[in-house]
Amino acid sequence: MSGKPAGNKGRAGGTREEQEGSLCAQHCLNNLLQGEYFSPVELSSIAHQLDEEERMRMAEGGVTSEDYRTFLQQPSGNMDDSGFFSIQVISNALKVWGLELILFNSPEYQRLRIDPINERSFICNYKEHWFTVRKLGKQWFNLNSLLTGPELISDTYLALFLAQLQQEGYSIFVVKGDLPDCEADQLLQMIRVQQMHRPKLIGEELAQLKEQRVQKTDLERVLEANDGSGMLDEDEEDLQRALALSRQEIDLEDEEADLRRAIQLSMQGTSRNTCQDTPQTSGTHLTSEELRKRREAYFEKQQQQQQQDPPGHPCEKPNTSSGALDSDLGDAMSEEDMLQAAVTMSLETVRSNFKTEGKK
């Protein structure tokens, strides 16, 4: 047997073995003694020894008796394949350490006038489950192997806690005798611990972790769905913007076409008015290029006349129909150029506004 403490040291302090299979009797003993003092093999050996002692007592009545044959056919009452051990096994194991178990509220308990607050430890049993309640230092702890950690029990709550266990059907045994020294007891003699949160049952914690994982998975699904819908919303917004820009482009093209038609009609009207106000020298409609060439010829002719006239003689104003027509046509060209420039500027302004709206 080893004297080294082992197991799980909970937040409240103290060595505590957690439940493995149905070896709660082993955990109960080691939590009581605060070390790995007993193994399943050692407890099984004690159980077999007890079975052999019972068999020998039954054999005293005759090995051919019905009771003896029935006893041999029955399974052991001190252990089973799941790892359960009886109170007799636990009691015999503690005798090795000079410890004795006394049933709570039994005649012997009453005779000894036991006060729970003055004791050092208790062993509790319900059906096939065993666990230890022990005082470490100056504080009581529930070292149940089914909990996630040691549970702190106040002095005022101890009697109520034990009474509650009795009402739930637990058998409670007072451990009488000197327990072996342990590190946790020495440490907690100097300090007191505080427990903010009561430890949960191992199954309860696993269920909560599972529920948290399920909730996390559901949350991730919701977030993924929201992300997907968000992407769809963004795509839809882009499509709406593209459609709006397309409609603006169509409207702009329509406006440009209408403006060009208006300019063409205006130019045609100006051309007709010019033709009506100006004497015509021919029946042909002159193009812009022809008008430009005539204006150049007119200015060259004027320049030649100025060079030929002597100084001091003012040149006569040309009064031919050709000069008048060129002058009027020059004015008409100026109006046409100005109108065309205004139209170009208007179209550029519209295009610039459209590009600005598209960037937004």
User: Could you give the residue numbers annotated as active site?
Assistant: 24, 129, 144
Q: What are the residues facing 121 on neighbouring strands?
A: 134
Alpha carbon 45 to its chain's center: 52
Q: Which strands form 100-103's sheet, in the order they lie side by side? A: 100-103, 171-176, 121-126, 129-136, 139-142, 151-153
Asked whether the CA dihedral 325, 327, 333, 339 is positive or negative, the reply is negative
Q: What are phi and psi for residue 215, nearest 5 degrees?
A: -65, -40
What tokens appear for 296 in the block?
Answer: 């150049």
Strand 139-142 and strand 151-153: pairing?
Answer: antiparallel
Helix (H) or strand (E) holding 102: strand 100-103
Q: Please state, in angstroms and rounded to a whole number, the distance separating the CA atoms of residues 319 and 310.
A: 20
Contacts of 188 (CB under 8 A, 6+ apart): 13, 14, 136, 137, 138, 139
Residue listed under structure tokens 């033709």: 275
Half-sphere exposure of 259 (CA within 13 A, CB side): 16
Q: What is the DSSP letter of 26?
A: H
3-class SS at 214? helix
Amino acid 251 reads D
Asked whether the CA dihedral 283, 287, 291, 296 is positive or negative, the reply is negative
DSSP characters over 100-139: EEEETTSHHHHHTT--GGG-SEEEEEETTEEEEEEEETTE
